[in-house]
Amino acid sequence: MGRLRGRGLPAGARGPGGRPRTRAPHAQPPVATAVRALDRNLKEVADMSAPKVLIADDDEVMLRALERQALKHGLRPITASEGQVLELALEHRPAVVVLDIHQRGFDGRDVLAQLKRAPEMRRTEVVVISGQEEPSTQAECLMLGAAAFQRKPVEWSFMEEVARLARQVSAGASEASWLEAFGGGGDLALIEIEESSPSSIEVLPWVAEE
In the chain (210 residues long), the average pLDDT of successive 10-residue segments reads 48 58 54 60 62 94 93 94 89 96 87 94 94 83 93 88 94 58 51 37 38
Q: Which of 72, 166, 186, 154 is nearest to 124 (CA)?
A: 166
Q: Which of 96, 59, 95 is nearest to 80 (CA)?
A: 59
* Total Cβ atoms within 10 A of residue 26: 6
Q: What is the pLDDT of residue 208?
A: 38
User: Could you tell me which residues come within 8 angstroms of residue 138 by beta carbon, excluding any fewer than 6 positions away?
Assistant: 149, 189, 203
Q: Are strands 102-103 and 76-80 parallel, antiparallel or unpaired?
A: unpaired
- The order of strands in the sheet holding 125-130 is 76-80, 52-56, 96-100, 125-130, 148-151, 188-193, 201-205
Q: Are strands 201-205 and 102-103 parallel, antiparallel or unpaired?
A: unpaired
Handedness of CA 99, 104, 110, 115 (dihedral sign): negative
> Rounded distance, CA 175 to CA 169, Å?
9
> Rounded distance, CA 39 to CA 22, Å?
36
Q: What is the pLDDT of residue 155?
A: 85
Walk me through the domains of the chain, giving residue ranges and CATH numbers.
Answer: 52-205 (3.40.50.2300)
Q: Which of 113, 153, 146, 115 is nearest to 132 (CA)?
A: 153
Q: Which of 181, 150, 147 is nearest to 164 (CA)?
A: 181
> Rounded distance, CA 116 to CA 106, Å?
17
Q: Is 75 exposed, middle or buried (CB count within 10 Å of its CB: 0-12, 13-18, 19+)? A: buried
Q: What is the pTM of this model?
A: 0.63
> Rounded distance, CA 155 to CA 138, Å?
18
> Rounded distance, CA 185 to CA 165, Å?
11
Amino acid at 165: L
